[in-house]
Structure 1
Amino acid sequence: MGSASREALVEAQGVLNSLATKLTAEAGEQLLLVARSLNENSALRSVIGDPVADDEAKITVVNRLFSDLLSEPALTLLQTVASSRWSSPEDVVGGLEDLGIRVFAVTAPAGLSIDEEILAINVAVSSNSELELALGSTLSISDAKVALANRLLSGKASSATLSIVTHLVSMPRGRRIGELLTGAAKIVAEQMGFALATVRAAQSLDAARSERLQKSLSRSYGGPVKINLIIDPTIIGGLHIQIGDDVIDASVSSRLSELRRQLVG
C-alpha cells in the first residue's frame, strides 16, 4: 500500500475500534462481501477509490448501493473508507479485507484464538502439496476452492475462521495461499494486541526455549509477541525470525552461505 492508503487504513481502524461494542460477526461477513464485490467490479472500485472525487458523491453511491444490505456499523466503516484518500482503487479492496478480518477478531468469543486456527490451517496446507495447489492455484475456479475449504474445515474450525479462509481462497489477488493465511493471522493478532513472530527452526522448540524466545522478543518489541513456529529442516540449525518487516536471521544455513560468499570473494 502507498502512504495515503496506509493513513486511510489507520483512520478506518480507529473508527472500527470506536464501534467495537456495536460490532457483530455479521459486519465482518458484510465487509468481506463488499471487498469481493469491488474486486469483481472495476468501475465501482474506481468510483469509491477515486482520490480526487468528492467525498459526498462517493458516500451517496455507497448509501444507494449498500445501505439496505449492511448493518449500521458495517455501513459506517464503508462510508469511512469511501470518504478517505487511497493511493489506488485496488488498495480500497485490501483495506476492506483488513477491516473485515479485524471485525471477526473483535467479535470472537472469549477463548477463541482465530489467529492460531488460521496458522494451524496454514501448516496443514503447506505440508500437503496437492491441497496447497488445489486451494492456491490461480487456475482453479473460486467456487470450487470455497467448496473445498468448506468441506475441509466445517466442524473443525470456528465459523469466523471459516469465513476468513473461504474469503481468502476466493479472492487471492495474486497472493500465494501461505501468504494469505499468514497475513490474515497477523491482522488478527495485531487487532488483539499481539505482534506475530514467524520463527523458522530445523526442529521443534521445547517449552522452555519457546518461552524464553517469546519473552525476549516481547521485551525487544515492547509488547506481547506470539510465536508462529515453522519447522524448516533446510535452515540446518539456529533460528530465522520475522516480525513485520524485521528479519533476524541466526540460522546455520545463513551463516554457511555468508562463509561461502567470503571464501569465493
Structure 2
Amino acid sequence: MGSATAQALVASSSALNAAQGITLDVAGELFSVGRLIGESTALSGALADPAAPAEARTSLVSRVFAGASAPVQDVLRAAVAERWSSAADLVDGVEELAVRATAIAAPDADIEGELFSVSRLVAGNADLELALGSRLGDGEGKAALVQRLVGASLNPATTLIVTSLVRQPRERRVRRLLNRAMRIVSAQRDRIVATVHTAAPLSAEQRSRLGAVLTGRYGRQIALNEVIDASVVGGLRVQVADDVIDGSIAARLADLRQKLAG
C-alpha cells in the first residue's frame, strides 16, 4: 500500500464515520458501487486520475451514481477527492469502506467470529474453496452458493460481506478476502483479532481471562477466534497479527528436545 493510499483510506474512513444514516442497505450499495467501479477500467482510472482536479472526480461520481443514496454519494465523493496510489487501490478502498459500513450498521453482530467460522469452513472443504475461487462461473452463482450453505446461520451483516466478496474476488483467494474483512471490521471497532489454538474448547471464564490479559498486553480490545487443534496437546498458542505467544505443551516439549539435542 502506497503512502497516498494509506492517507486516502484514513480520510475516507473518517468521512464514513461522520456520515449519517449508515444502514445495511447503504453498505450493500457501497459493495455494488465498488463492483461497478472495479469492472470498468475507464471509470476506475478516471476516478483515481491524479492529474484530474478533485472537483472533476467528485462531479463524475455525482453523474455516474446519481441514483445512489445520499450517504453513498457523500462517502464516494469524499473517497475520490483523495489521492490514491493506483486505480486498483481505489477499488480496494471502496470495498473496505463497504465492509466498515457493514460493521457500523450492525454494531452488536459477531461479524469477526462468523467470518472466521466461514473461513474455517472454506479451509476444510477443498471443493468449496475451488468453487468459490474458480474463474469459471458467475459471481451471482457463487453468492447464491454461499447463501445456501451458510446464509441461514449467519447474521445478515456477515452474509452481506461474504456474498459481496465472492461476487468479485479479483483473483484473490477466498480465505484471504475473509481474513482481510475480519481485520477491517476489527479496525472499525477499534480492536484486534487474536487466534487461539487450543486442544480443548475454552470455557467462558477462560475466554474472559485470556481476553483481559491480551487487552492489557496490546492496549486494545480483543476479538478472540478459537481453533481446536490436537497438535497443541495442552496449553494455548495465541497469534495476534505476526506476534505468536506459544504456551502449549507441544512447544515446551519441542524446546526441551532441542536443548537435549544441543
2:109 pairs with 98, 112, 119, which one?
112
1:248 aligns with 2:244: yes
Alpha-carbon separation, structure 1, partners of 2:31 and 2:69: 13
Contact 1:117 1:161 in 2 (8 A): yes
Cross-structure match for 2:78? 80
Alpha-carbon separation, structure 2, partners of 1:98 and 1:257: 41
In structure 2, stretches of 5+ residues that fail to align are none
1:194 deviation in Å? 2.2
Q: 1:64 to 1:220 in 2, by over 3 A?
A: same
1:182 aligns with 2:162: no
| Deviates further, 166-175 or 8-17 | 166-175
SS at match of 2:152: coil
Cross-structure match for 1:14? 14
| Deviates further, 120-129 or 55-64 | 120-129
1:229 deviation in Å? 1.5
SS at match of 1:8: helix
Alpha-carbon separation, structure 2, partners of 1:53 and 1:79: 14
SS at match of 1:195: strand
Cross-structure match for 1:64? 63
Contact 1:201 1:231 in 2 (8 A): yes
Alpha-carbon separation, structure 2, partners of 1:225 and 1:255: 29
Contact 1:237 1:253 in 2 (8 A): no
1:26 deviation in Å? 1.6
Contact 2:109 2:157 in 1 (8 A): no
Contact 2:112 2:223 in 1 (8 A): no
1:249 deviation in Å? 4.6
Q: 1:43 to 1:174 in 2, by over 3 A?
A: same
Alpha-carbon separation, structure 2, partners of 1:201 and 1:62: 49
1:234 deviation in Å? 4.8
Contact 1:236 1:253 in 2 (8 A): no
Aligned residue runs from structure 1 range 1-265, under 5 A: 1-19=1-19, 21-68=20-67, 70-108=68-106, 111-234=108-231, 239-244=236-241, 246-250=242-246, 252=250, 256=254
1:254 deviation in Å? 9.7
1:42 deviation in Å? 1.0
Contact 2:34 2:91 in 1 (8 A): yes
TM-score (norm 1): 0.86
TM-score (norm 2): 0.87
Q: Deviations over 1:154-206 (max 9, x none)?
A: 43323222221111111222322222122212222222232211233344334
In structure 1, stretches of 5+ residues that fail to align are none
Matched letter for residue 191 of structure 1: Q
Aligned residues: 260
Alpha-carbon separation, structure 2, partners of 1:257 and 1:57: 62
CA RMSD between the two structures: 2.7
